[in-house]
Amino acid sequence: MAKIHTLRISNFRSIKDFEQVFGLSSFVCIIGRGDSGKTTILDAISYVLCGNWNLSIFDTDFYGCNIDEPIIIEATLYDLPARLLQESRFGLYIRGIDMTTNTIHDTLEDSHIEALTIRFTVERDLEPRWCVTNVRQEDIEIRASDRASLNMFFVSDYVDKHFSWNKGNPLYSLLRQEDNDLRENGNPIIDALRDAKSKIDNNSFSEFDSVMSRIKSSSAGFGIDIQKANTTVDLKDIIVKEGKVTLHEDSIPFRLKGKGSKRLISIAIQVEVAKSVGGILLIDEIEQGLEPDRAQHLAKTLRESYEGQVFIITHSRDVLVELKAENLYRMAKDAKRLFHFDDSFQGVLRANPEAFFAKKIIVCEGATEVGIVRAINNHRIKMGRTSATLEGVKLTDGKGSNQVIYSDGFLRAGFEVCMFCDSDEPNVNRVKESLRSQGISIIDCEDNLSIEQQVFKDLPWAGVKQLIEQQKHSTSNASVEDSVGNRYKHYVKNGVLKEGWADVEDEMLRLTLGDVAKDREWFKSITKGEMLGTVCCDYFSDMKDSRLNEQFEKLSKWIEHA
């Protein structure tokens, strides 16, 4: 039971001030760059809903280690267990959620959904306090057993205890659910341990006899009679450690299984618990230890069939493609709230899942442009400058005119967006001004030119020749010469191009090559685009004052500091 409607965090680890309304979302996938505070959010949830009676808090848990400001984490929950809604517990402390506005109110109305706000506070004494709070009344403490009824469960790296039958572990909760008379029927584990002890009791341990008799007679010498002494196991050692009874596979304990398998089994147990009572499941890096397809399957299964509320963090494109855009929330460093993606991102998500993990996105018109930017990136690395990865820049294929829709979407999602495009598409040209005014950097060609035309217009002639050679190499002499000859009759003699047609720089030839490269799709793949870009980069210093130079310069600069 219980789902988080709103989460507030202040002064906790990397988060100074944060408030997020999750509303009725049951599946929340948090994405964002490393160190943006995603795990801090999950930790915050696990602290405020912690079912243990105590937590160790350190100075380092305070934002900027500043212990003068208290850590406060507040979760407003709905779908509450009946036990918490009782008058004698927190029934008189409920607040109301207005579902139409997603706001929380202290003056209740009939249409409201009942909610409780739990506040976790740590002051400089490092003593954690949990209470239920509202603006009408004084806060009231909420005990660990009541918090435990919220059934929050964090799949972390330390899942070994989930495989033991200990009280407080999910396996034990399941047992309780199935058999309410557990207490009357006795605990089967303790009974089994008693049986084990009686077997040991009955063992004569005759191997010890001679040593025993020496001790007995020695003791008698000191006036103490231990004639009845025998050897067995101390009951204390086995009963207290009922938690030592754990799941095994062919006598190999589950704790020795691989990380991914352990996490999956642990999730499976929790899902079973949640089937009857719900619960809040937190999973950091859901793909950890799992092959892409298993991670994918896990995300899909949880999204479709988990009865409670799930919070996951992922860095995996494979996981993202299994989700709906509305499941995604993006965390940015120092952000005061998450960005919640909506339906309109569905297409972008399918086409460019990896872009969702970036800080800055270059939306390229097509594969050629993607290749060119990759080449620029390689060039930057070669020159000892920062890489796109380091700068958090992702390239996405805008698939032609969809480029505009994607750019607009990413901008709204809080990414920095650069659009790298041609200028030969009137539909795109028409909206460029408005996109610019919204804050998208647009790097495009001269009026009415495609990138191929721009390259052949501005690239030093040596570079042009190199591109022709490469094209000949990747197709054939004949095919290149045919396409050029068809367009450029001036160089054709007896149906074939003159020998040495490409030796001399010629404006008309540049135009022709541009047209041919565009129409015959010489560079229409990432690899070919990258090759094209590499050549351009090689001649970069020789093409000053050209648009091409300007484009490359701008792209390189944008990668560095948008």
5 lies in the site for another protein, by CB under 8 A: no
Interaction residues for another protein, span 393-422 (CB under 8 A): none
Alpha carbon separation from 318 to 39, 240, 284, 314, 517 (Å, rounded): 20, 45, 16, 9, 35
Q: Phi and psi (nearest 5°) for 501?
A: -60, -25
Is residue 334 left, alpha or beta, with left meaning phi > 0 and alpha meaning psi from -120 to 50? left
The residue count for binding another protein (CB under 8 A) is 21
Query: Applying CB under 8 A, does 111 fall inside the site for another protein?
Result: yes
Region binding another protein by CB under 8 A among candidate stretches 46-54, 88-96, 273-281, 532-540: 88-96
Smallest gap from residue 83 Cβ to another protein (A): 8
Residues 121-160 that bind another protein (CB under 8 A): 136-137
Question: How near is the Cβ of 7 to another protein at its closest, in Å?
Answer: 21
Q: Which of 425, 379, 372 is nearest to 395 (CA)?
A: 372
Task: Return d(Cα 43, Cα 335) in angstroms, integer.
Answer: 17
Q: Is 3 an interacting residue with respect to another protein (CB under 8 A)?
A: no
Least spacing, CB of residue 49 vs another protein, in Å: 19
Q: Does 112 bind another protein (CB under 8 A)?
A: yes
Contact 342, 497 (CB under 8 A): no
Q: How many CB atoms sit inside 10 A of residue 448's CB?
A: 12
Choose, by CB under 8 A, the member of 52, 66, 86, 213 that binds another protein: 86
Q: Is 87 in the site for another protein (CB under 8 A)?
A: yes
Question: What's the half-sphere exposure (Cβ side, CA atoms, 13 Å) at 256?
Answer: 6
Q: Which is nearer to another protein, 87 or 507 (CB)?
A: 87
Q: Which of 54, 56, 110, 250 binds another protein (CB under 8 A)?
A: 110
88 touching another protein, by CB under 8 A: yes
82 contributes a contact to another protein by CB under 8 A: yes
Place of tokens 């995604």: 328
Q: Interface with another protein by CB under 8 A: which range of 87-95, 175-183, 194-202, 258-266?
A: 87-95
C-beta closer to another protein: residue 94 or 418: 94
Q: How far is CA 80 from the centre of its chain?
A: 28
- Report the residue number, 102 or 217, with the smaller CB distance to another protein: 102
Pick the stretch among 107-115, 235-243, 323-331, 518-526 that binds another protein (CB under 8 A): 107-115
From the number of C-beta atoms within 10 Å of its C-beta (0-12, 13-18, 19+), residue 243 rates as middle
Interaction of residue 96 with another protein, rule CB under 8 A: yes
Q: What is the DSSP letter of 117?
A: E
d(Cα 52, Cα 161) in Å, to the nearest integer? Answer: 14
| Residue 308 CB, nearest approach to another protein (Å) | 19
Produce one character per residue of 304-325: b if its CB has 16 or more CB atoms within 10 Å, e if not. eebbbbbbbbbbbbbbbebbeb
Q: Is 85 in the site for another protein (CB under 8 A)?
A: yes
Chain positions contacting another protein, by CB under 8 A: 82-83, 85-88, 91-94, 96, 107-114, 136-137
